[in-house]
C-alpha cells in the first residue's frame, strides 16, 4: 500500500478482496457533497470525447484525486505496489514510466464493482528512491485524464485498467471567465493564509500567463476541497465548464471559511508547523 510522504498528500491504497476474478465492468461515476450540502449541480452526464484506442494502464487507487499538473509523492511499501513499480521501471519503451491514479469511492480497499471512480489521471514518474528493504519513495506528476472501461483484477497482483484518454476541449470560454475564477481563487487562498494554512505551490495565482485549462485544474487540486468536489471537477468534460463549476465551489467554500474561521479537517495537515 502506498503511503503519502511527509508534506505530500495523505493517501490510502487499494487491496483487492476475494482473490483472482474476471475483469469487472466499471460503473458510472458518482459523488456526494459534504454533510448538509446539496450535490454539485455540475454533475450532469456530459459525453466525454476520447482519443485513440483503448490501452492497458496499471492503477494506484488512492484516497485522493490527482489532476493534470499536480505533483504526487508516495512511499511504496506494500508488496503488490512494489511489484507495480518494478514492472514500470523494467518496461521497455520511450518516455518515463506511467501509471494511473484513481480515487476510491470510500474506504481503502478495492474488489467490488464501483469501488473506484471511472475517471482518473495518469502519473508520469519523475524520480524513484529505492530503500534496501524493498520499499521506495516515488515522485510523479499528473498528466492526462482517462476513462476506465474495465478493470482486470486477475492478471497482476495490482489492478490493471483498460482506459481511453480524454481530450481537453475548451468548451464555452467567455473572455471574463478566467479572470473571475482567478479572483475567486485568490479570495479563497487569502482566507486560508489568514488561518495559517500552507498554500504550497498555490501561493501565487495572479500570473496572467496562466492559461484557462491550467487554472481550472488549480482549483481542482485544492486540498481544502472535499474529495467529492475535486473528483467532480476532474470529470467535467471541458475547460469552460470546469472553470464555472470551480468558481461556484470556491465561492461556497470561501463563504464557509468566513463563517467558521477554521481550516477544514481535510486540510488540517497543511497548517504551517507551529501555527495555532
- CA neighbor of 95 nearest in space, from 118, 122, 133: 122
Q: Per residue in 202-229, is it b (16+ CB within 10 Å) or e — as a string?
A: beebeeeeeebbebbbbbbbbbbbbbbb
CB within 8 Å of 57: residues ≥ 6 apart: 98, 99, 100, 122, 146, 160, 161, 162, 163
Cβ pair 178, 215 in contact under 8 A? yes
Q: Dump pLDDT digits (tens) for 172-217.
A: 999 899 999 999 999 999 998 888 877 666 655 666 667 999 999 9
Amino acid 114: pLDDT? 59
Under DSSP, is residue 188 helix (H, G, I), strand (E, B) or coil? helix
Give the pLDDT mean for 216-241.
93
Q: Can you read off the three cell numbers belonging to residue 18? A: 476475494
DSSP, collapsed to helix, strand or coil, labels residue 109 as coil
For 2-32+48-166, CATH number out of 2.30.130.40, 3.30.70.1450, 1.10.3720.10, 2.60.40.10 equals: 2.30.130.40
Confidence of residue 11 (pLDDT cuts 50, 70, 90): very low
Going from N- to C-terminal start, the domains of the chain cover 2-32+48-166, 177-270
pLDDT digits (tens, 9 = 90+) for 95-152: 779 999 999 987 655 554 458 899 999 999 999 999 999 999 999 999 999 999 999 9
| Percent of the chain scoring above 90 in pLDDT | 53
- pLDDT for res 195: 86
Query: Can you spell out the DSSP letters for 64-78?
Result: S---TT-EEEEEE-S
Place of cell 469511492: 105
| Nearest residue to 65 (alpha-carbon basis) of 19, 17, 126, 11 | 11
- Can you tell me the distance from the alpha carbon of 17 to that of 12, in angstroms, rounded to the nearest whole number? 16
Which class for 43: exposed (0-12), middle (13-18), buried (19 or more C-beta within 10 A)? middle
Q: Which residues pair with 51 in a beta bridge?
A: 165
Amino acid at each position: 500500500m502506498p503511503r503519502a510522504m511527509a508534506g505530500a498528500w495523505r493517501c490510502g491504497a487499494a487491496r483487492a478482496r476475494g482473490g483472482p476474478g474476471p475483469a469487472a465492468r466499471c460503473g458510472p461515476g458518482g459523488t456526494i457533497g459534504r454533510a448538509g450540502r446539496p450535490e454539485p449541480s455540475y454533475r450532469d452526464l456530459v459525453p466525454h470525447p476520447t482519443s485513440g484506442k483503448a490501452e492497458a494502464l496499471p492503477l494506484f487507487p488512492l484516497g485522493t484525486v490527482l489532476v493534470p499538473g499536480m505533483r504526487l509523492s508516495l512511499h511504496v511499501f506494500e508488496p503488490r505496489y512494489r511489484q507495480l513499480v518494478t514492472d514500470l521501471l523494467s518496461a521497455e519503451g520511450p518516455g518515463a514510466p506511467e501509471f494511473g491514479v484513481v480515487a476510491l469511492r470510500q474506504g481503502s480497499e478495492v474488489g467490488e464493482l464501483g469501488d473506484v471512480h471511472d475517471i482518473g489521471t495518469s502519473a508520469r514518474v519523475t524520480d524513484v528512491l529505492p530503500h534496501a528493504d524493498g520499499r521506495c519513495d516515488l515522485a510523479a506528476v499528473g498528466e492526462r485524464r482517462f476513462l476506465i472501461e474495465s478493470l482486470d483484477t486477475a492478471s497482476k497482483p495490482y489492478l490493471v485498467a483498460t482506459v481511453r484518454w480524454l481530450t481537453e476541449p475548451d468548451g464555452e470560454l467567455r473572455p471574463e471567465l478566467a479572470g473571475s475564477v482567478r479572483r475567486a481563487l485568490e479570495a479563497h487562498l487569502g482566507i486560508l493564509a489568514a488561518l495559517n494554512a500552507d498554500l504550497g505551490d498555490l501561493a501565487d495565482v495572479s500570473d496572467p500567463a496562466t492559461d484557462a485549462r491550467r487554472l481550472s485544474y488549480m482549483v481542482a487540486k485544492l486540498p481544502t476541497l472535499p474529495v467529492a468536489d475535486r473528483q467532480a471537477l476532474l470529470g467535467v468534460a471541458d475547460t469552460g465548464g470546469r472553470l464555472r463549476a470551480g468558481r461556484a465551489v470556491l465561492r461556497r467554500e470561501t463563504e464557509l471559511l468566513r463563517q467558521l474561521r477554521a481550516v477544514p479537517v481535510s486540510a488540517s495537515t497543511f497548517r504551517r508547523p507551529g501555527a495555532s
